[in-house]
Amino acid sequence: MSLPNIDQEYFVDFLVKLLNIASPTGFAEPAVAFVERELSQFNQLELSRTRKGALIAKWAVESDLTPIALTAHVDTLGAVVKEIKSNGRLRLSRIGGIQWPTIETEGVWIFTSKGERIRGSVLIDAASGHIYSGTGKETPRNDEHMEVRLDARTTSEQETRQLGINVGDCIAFDPRVEVTNGFIRSRFLDDKACVANIVTAIKSLAEAGLSPVRTVYFHISNYEEVGHGASAGIPSEVAELVTVDMAVVGAGQESDEFSATLCIKDSGGVYHEGLNKKMRSLAEQHGIPYKTDVYPFYGSDGEAFWRAGGDVALALIGPGIDASHNYERAHMDGLNATTNWIMAYLLD
Ligand SMILES: [Zn+2]
């Protein structure tokens, strides 16, 4: 059976919109709500939320086969206000592991607890070249020396507090999305690209008048970057869980931006041999370009479910993402391969 066509224009449009919604872990609700609105147009799906705020979309079908699940996450790296400095600027506490040098001079939004947003940018505390020309180069890019300069009139802690900013407020780094020549360059393609893969796969099947062979739960996770997104929310009747998350591209890796990857092992352990075999044979059957790989510093939401006691066969697939947790990049070839792989799995 051949797979339905992918609406690539839709994929890019949905992904770019999702990338432009700030959603650091703990503050991901606007992104979850956006995906929820999008999926609400498919009356095949029954939508619900976990208490933690994750989105569950159930596509129920008449079948004696055991249900399956797929998960991908919309939460991203980010930061919160750690301290308001005496000069009115902000010290940050990072959410997840963004590397400081990659966000030096980046634009940010501060989302206050009262619902307002204030613009700013990330700088070292010795930023002016005309003052610190020598020492600025040497300044360590770390929690102590990086700060947010607000685009508001403040030179004191008190003035910053009067703007409505408090310790604990969310800080979101600009994603800087660009689409050029089949490449999508942006922060946080991990894992919004894979949420777009899932949503586009659902749309492609629905528009072709097709249904999954078994009942499927799509779990849109909101706490992955801190390690426990999918630890809850996968129903116990689910027999197989496919985590859809980025593949690691770079020196020593098999993965590339033009293929999807089946991860065999990461730092969280080894995936399920039986389900891996099934995913490989589906890729081969449908001519989907894929690699197998091992990721050096990586843990997945599927493993979070395993650790929490989840009893499922588990696999991890996803598109190759260059420079992950940095200024990331993907290509439509790898992205389409992932969407096709998801559809092949749902139809098998
Ligand atoms: Zn991820």
pLDDT in tens, 170-203: 999 999 999 999 999 999 999 999 999 999 999 9
Q: List CB-based neighbours of ion ligand 1 within 5 Å.
A: 190-191, 245
Q: What is the average pLDDT value for the chain, to the nearest integer?
A: 97
Look up residue 273 and give its two tokens: 């041999």
- Considering the candidates 106, 147, 224, 225, report the single residue annotated as catalytic: 224
Q: Is the pLDDT of residue 129 over 80?
A: yes
Give residue 72 CA to ligand 1 midpoint distance, Å: 8
Q: Mind listing the pLDDT tens digit for each residue in 160-175?
A: 999 999 999 999 999 9
Give residue 54 CA to ligand 1 midpoint distance, Å: 15
Mean pLDDT of the 106-125 span:
97
Q: Is the pLDDT of residue 1 over 80?
A: no
User: Is residue 224 annotated as part of the catalytic site, yes or no?
Assistant: yes
Report which residue type is found at 139.
T
Give residue 126 CA to ligand 1 midpoint distance, Å: 33
Q: Mind listing the pLDDT tens digit for each residue in 33-67?
A: 999 999 999 999 999 999 999 999 999 999 999 99
Give residue 172 CA to ligand 1 midpoint distance, Å: 17
For residue 322, the model assigns a pLDDT of 98
For residue 83, the model assigns a pLDDT of 98
Look up residue 191 and give its two tokens: 């894992």
For residue 134, the model assigns a pLDDT of 83
The alpha carbon of residue 140 and the mean position of all alpha carbons in its chain are separated, in whole angstroms, by: 28
Give residue 290 CA to ligand 1 midpoint distance, Å: 19
| pTM of the shown model | 0.97
